[in-house]
Structure 1
Amino acid sequence: MSMILQELQHYLRGRRATTLAELAAHFHIAPDALRGMLDRLICKGRIRKRESKKCGGCHSCAPETLELYEWIDPYLS
């Protein structure tokens, strides 16, 4: 699991922010499994979960397409 956490960190560091759906597609991992790994990175202070992106309100968007995670740059804090 530590290898995947390192890969997640590298991906987020390069992208700055991405949705859970993009992470799931890139790593071929179910969104629910990724949430646990992302929670660990949040606890370590490496990333933060941002307020969900808003869509037009049709209620047909998959929740993981609206769930946004952002890399925390320690030099900007």
Structure 2
Amino acid sequence: MMLMEIRAYLKLHGSANILDLSNHFRVSPDALRGMLQHWIAKGEVVRHDFSGSCGDCHSSGHCSGCGTAASFEVYEWHEVVRRAV
């Protein structure tokens, strides 16, 4: 199941950007975002959006469209420690 493969990949690597995940799994970024949302909802993955971090943004704060914004969309494994009740 792809969800478990994504989980294993992120646990192994700690984090990955959306383009690396897309290339590794041969799935579109949009499809991956939907699957990653499953792990985000469970609190086990955190999405970091560093768009605009390439330094080419205009002073108005608008992206100049350098095309690298997707590579700054990073997903990090954040394992939740569950306590026995």
TM-score, reference length from structure 1: 0.83
Compute the displacement of 1:45 (Å).
Answer: 1.2
Structure 2: distance between partners of 1:30 and 1:39: 14
Partner of 2:65: 59
**Secondary structure at the counterpart of residue 66 of structure 2:** coil
Partner of 2:61: none
Q: Identity across aligned pairs (percent)?
A: 34
Tell me, which stretches of 5 or more residues in structure 2 are unaligned? 57-63
The structure whose Rg is larger is 2
C-alpha contact 2:19 2:70 (8 A) present in aligned 1 = yes
Is the deviation greater in 15-24 or in 62-71?
62-71
The Cα offsets for residues 21-40 of structure 1, whole Å up to 9 and x where unpaired, read as: 00000000000000000111
Partner of 1:4: 2
RMSD: 1.6
Structure 2: distance between partners of 1:30 and 1:66: 16
Match of 2:78 among 67, 72, 76: 72
* Equivalent residues in 2 for 1:11-50, closer than 5 Å: 11-50=9-48
Tell me, which stretches of 5 or more residues in structure 1 are unaligned? none
Greater helix fraction, Structure 1 or Structure 2: 1
Count how many residue pairs are aligned between Structure 1 and Structure 2.
73
Compute the displacement of 1:63 (Å).
Answer: 3.0
TM-score, reference length from structure 2: 0.76
